[in-house]
Structure 1
Amino acid sequence: MTDTQTAMALLPHALPTCPNARVALFAMRRMGAYGLADAQAAHLLFSAFGQGFRRPLVLLRALMADLASASSGTIAIAPCCCARMTSAESAMLTILARVETAPEVARYLMADLLGIRRIDGVLTSAAAVAMAFADEGRPVIV
C-alpha cells in the first residue's frame, strides 16, 4: 500500500464546505489534542461568534468531555492541519448537523461512534452544541 492509499484509508472524508462545520471541526481537533482549555480553540470561537462565544465554547468543552468519558474506545481525530477528516470526525459533524432534524440518524451515529448503547447524555450535549451554533446564526451543515 502506498503512502497516498494509507492516508486515504485513515482520512477517507473531505473537509466540509460549510464554514461553521469547519469551525466546529477545528475546535474539536484542538480540544481533543491539547485539552479543553486550549487557547487557540477559544480564540477561534471568539473570532467566529464575537461576544456570543461563551455558550458555544462551554458547550463544546462539555461535549468533548462527555465524548471522552463515555466512549468505549478511542475516537480518532486528525491533526489540525489535515485537509481531510477521519470517519469519527465526519460522524461527529453529521451528528451536530442532524441531531435536531433527524434525531434517529444522530442517535445511531453516536452509538456507533461511542460503542455503547446508552448515549442519551452525550447526544443531549451534542444537541446543545448544535443549538448554540444555530442560535448564533452559524448552524452546522454537512
Structure 2
Amino acid sequence: MTSLQLAITLPRLAPACPNAALALFAVRRMGAHGLDDAHAAEAMLAGFGQQFRRPLLCTRAFMADLSASATGPIAIAPCCCRRMTAAEAALIGVLSRAEADPARAHLLLADLMGRRRADGVLASATAMTLAFADEGRPIGGRPS
C-alpha cells in the first residue's frame, strides 16, 4: 500500500489517550468478531480490573445499537493498526463529546449512521462514556 493509499484509507492517527485506545480496540474487536468477542472482554478486564462488567456491557450495547441503526457499513481497521478510518475517528469523537457536548456528538453520530435521528444510539454512547469515566478511565482527547 502506498503512502497516498494509506492516507486515504486510514487518514487519522490512533488516539493518544489510552482510554480512547481501549474503547477503539473493543469497538474494532466487536465490530469484526461479534459482541461476545473474548479478546475485547479480556482487554476490558485488563483495563478495568474487577469492575470491567459495566464498561463491557455498555460497549456491547453501544455496538448493538449502532449496527442496528446504521444505514450502511461503518469502516473499521484491524485491531493492531496504529491509524484510524474516518468512521473510527468520528466514533472516538462521539465518545469523547457525548457527555460534554451532546449536540455536536449527535451531529457526528447522525452523519456516521446516515440518519437524522440518532438519539437512542447517542444514549448508548453516553452510557459507555459514563461507564468508562465512572471507573476512572474517561475517554478524552480528540482524534488527531
TM-score range, shorter chain: over 0.9
Moved over 2 A (4+): none
Alpha-carbon distance between aligned partners in 2 of 1:48 and 1:81, rounded to the nearest angstrom: 17
Could you say which residue in structure 1 is the equivalent of 2:27?
Answer: 28
Could you say which residue in structure 2 is the equivalent of 1:90?
Answer: 89
> Structure 1: which 5+ runs fail to align?
none
Alpha-carbon distance between aligned partners in 1 of 2:9 and 2:66, rounded to the nearest angstrom: 20
Per the TM alignment, residue 4 of structure 1 is displaced from its structure 2 partner at its CA by: 1.5
Amino acid at match of 2:9: L
Matched, 1:37 2:30: no
Amino acid at match of 1:63: F
Could you say which residue in structure 2 is the equivalent of 1:129?
Answer: 128
Mapping 1:1-142, distance limit 5 Å: 3-142=2-141
2:35 aligned counterpart, secondary structure: coil
The percentage of aligned residue pairs carrying the same residue is 55
Amino acid at match of 1:120: D
Task: For residues 30-68 of structure 1, give each alpha carbon's deviation from its aligned partner in whole angstroms, at most 9, with x where no partner exists.
Answer: 000011000000000000001110000011001101111
Alpha-carbon distance between aligned partners in 2 of 1:135 and 1:96, rounded to the nearest angstrom: 14
> Structure 2: which 5+ runs fail to align?
none
Task: For residues 6-37 of structure 1, give each alpha carbon's deviation from its aligned partner in whole angstroms, at most 9, with x where no partner exists.
Answer: 11101000011100000000010000001100
Alpha-carbon distance between aligned partners in 1 of 2:97 and 2:80, rounded to the nearest angstrom: 26
Per the TM alignment, residue 94 of structure 1 is displaced from its structure 2 partner at its CA by: 0.8
Q: How many residue pairs end up in the alignment?
A: 141
Amino acid at match of 1:43: E
Amino acid at match of 1:31: M
1:133 aligned counterpart, secondary structure: helix
2:72 aligned counterpart, secondary structure: coil
| TM-score for the superposition, normalised by structure 2 | 0.96
